[in-house]
Amino acid sequence: MRRLIATALALGLTATAASTAAAQDEVTLQLKWVTQAQFAGYYVAKDKGFYEEENLDVTIKSGGPDIAPEQVIAGGGADVITTWMAAGLAARERGVPLVNIAQPFKTGGLQLTCLKETGVETPDDFAGRTLGVWFFGNEYPFYAWMAQLGLETDGADENGVTVLKQAFNVDPLLQGQADCISTMTYNEYGQVLDAGYTGDDLVNFNYLEQGIGMLEDGLYVLEENLEDPAFVDKMVRFVRASMKGWKYAEENPEEAAQIIIDNDPTGAQTLDHQTYMMGEVAKLTAGSNGALDPADYEQTVQTLLSAVSEDNPAITEQPEGAWTHAITDEALN
């Protein structure tokens, strides 16, 4: 695949140089979730003119609970999507040939947050507890972790755990329905704090620190499109401008938060929360120049292969061709 993309890239760059007066190339980006600082780099790149500098006209489509980016791109509704590696690899195995072309998030923010007053202080205290888990591809590291701990997840064994299919909020913890819930460091954890709890009231188990790593927000395209020289060239420019946007957002979190507010179609976001979120997201993107780390990829694959879930199987075999450095190699030159 790398040789094919390199050839396409060379042809695409030649074509671009020969048509400098051409109209802006259109790119549609489908986000994994709603407009928020999780995607600040893309909104900043658009707002600050970084895409325009690369001769791109980028449309950013926000996501939501009823939108699966993998289905959107498979149906032709986007050129590139943001999603987690778990969802990307699962989709690939099921016939949607997604390829990771860039990885802005170096580390992950997924964690399990527990109320200390429930008596949960270490993973040894999970047995017999109710744990809130996000599904739709976010459950894979949880099941891998439980398998590693030797804990059943059907709730039938007192030495196992009961899984609560958690909505994307913190209500189960606040209402006493679960001992622990899924949170992101940059979002739901802040909501728990906003509810009146302090860090001393909580115990957090970060999945990466537990050895259950999974790459989060990356950029994915359909494999077949990487055979098109013009598309490859367009993605090189898109990734270059997007990473410029991410680095600007890291260095200017308050301005980035305001840009998010300005682009929120719902008006539901608040500047205070987006500023908090941007500060936390910056910790996850700070270690990335956009190129995927093969070691992080392998850790994700091993996590998925060890995940146990009859309802939501992850992957069953080692993927091939699921990522490439060809785009970032050129974009970072």
Question: In this structure, are 274 and 218 located in the same domain?
Answer: yes
Which residues contact residue 4 at a Cβ distance below 8 angstroms, ignoring those fewer than 6 apart?
226, 227
Give kind and range of the element (H or E) at residue 56: strand 56-61
Q: Could you tell me if 95 and 194 lie in one domain?
A: no
Residue 55 pLDDT: 98
Burial 96-107 (b: 16+ CB within 10 A, else e): bbbbbbbbbbbb
240 in the same domain as 92 = yes
Q: Are residues 120 and 185 in the same domain?
A: yes
CB count, 10 Å around CB of 169?
A: 12
Q: Is 133 found in the same domain as 277?
A: no
Same domain membership, residue 142 and residue 119:
yes
Quick check: 108 and 284 in contact, CB under 8 A?
A: yes
**Predicted local confidence at residue 102, as pLDDT:** 98
| Same-domain status, 199 and 115 | yes
| Residue 218: other Cβ atoms inside 10 A | 25
Question: What pLDDT shows up at residue 17?
Answer: 43
Last residue of a domain, one of 206, 230, 261: 206
Q: Which residues of the chain have pLDDT under 50?
A: 14-21
Q: What are phi and psi of 205, to 5 degrees?
A: -120, 105
Q: 125 and 195 in one domain? A: yes
- Which CATH number fits the domain that encloses residue 82? 3.40.190.10
Among 189, 206, 223, the domain boundary falls at: 206
Identify the pLDDT of residue 286.
95
Phi, psi dihedrals of residue 16, rounded to the nearest 5°: -65, -45
pLDDT reported for residue 1: 62
Domain closes at, from 167, 187, 206? 206
Q: Using alpha carbons, list the distances in angstroms from residue 96 to 75, 175, 325.
A: 10, 39, 20
| Cα–Cα distance measured from residue 187 to residue 199, given in angstroms and rounded to the nearest whole number | 15
Q: Which domain holds residue 187?
A: 110-206
Question: Cα–Cα distance between 163 and 309 in angstroms, integer?
Answer: 11
pLDDT reported for residue 11? 53
